[in-house]
Amino acid sequence: MVSSQLAKDARKIYRALAKQYPDVHCELDFSTPFELLVATILSAQCTDKRVNAVTPGLFKKYPNPKKLAAAKREDLEGLISSTGFFRAKADTLLRLGAELTQTFAGQIPQTLDELVTLPGVGRKTANVVLGEAFGIPGITVDTHFGRLARRFGWTQQMDPVKVEFEVAELFPPKDWTSLSQLVIWHGRRRCHSKRPACGACNVSAWCPAFGEGPTDPAQAAKLVRQPRG
């Protein structure tokens, strides 16, 4: 059973992060659910900034699943080569285009159970698409979210699915998507894996891990950064 005090403190952190990052948003550029799905797959082991530099040309040439399924492998690989692991990603995207075309009539499914049947799509990617493209609440557990959830004392789990389920018990579903964005932004900007900027963090009053990084405000401020490109 979830501790009522833990839930209260967790929601205080959520409100503080919302004040810290009032302009929080998905940092992948997209205009359709299909574009978001592809961009999220490309973002594996790659920065959002790099993906955003690649996708305009990619989506111009392959604007829908049918076009993507018919892509020439060498052309596709050339377009996405700078995102890393481009051969594996190209294989995934070709299979994704085919599956969406053949099984879902070119539409992006709107349930988690259906999304995770697609090539390259796990719960993390599915929850990104559901939350950002369709407004369906979901918790996105990437490396940043998992690290901060453990630091905040919301969970001790290492498995992303178990993290997702335990954190979900602390917050109402309406907050899940914005919570994911806020925690990920905080992990990218302040709560780093090494030397978190504790002294420049406005959730320190409720964070059990306060002190893992410099607590002096001036020192901590030097650690605050924008995500690298």
Report the alpha-carbon distance of residue 36 to residue 55 in Å, rounded: 10
Report the alpha-carbon distance of residue 176 to residue 116 in Å, rounded: 19
191 in Cβ contact with 220 (< 8 Å): no
User: Taking the CB of residue 15, how many other CB atoms lie within 10 A of it?
Assistant: 12
Going by C-alpha positions, the residue among 131, 145, 143, 146 that lies closest to residue 30 is 131
Which residues have a catalytic role annotated? 124, 142
83 vs 23, 46, 142, CA distance in Å? 26, 6, 18
- Can you list the positions of beta strands (E) in 44-123? none
Going by C-alpha positions, the residue among 7, 101, 76, 89 that lies closest to residue 45 is 89
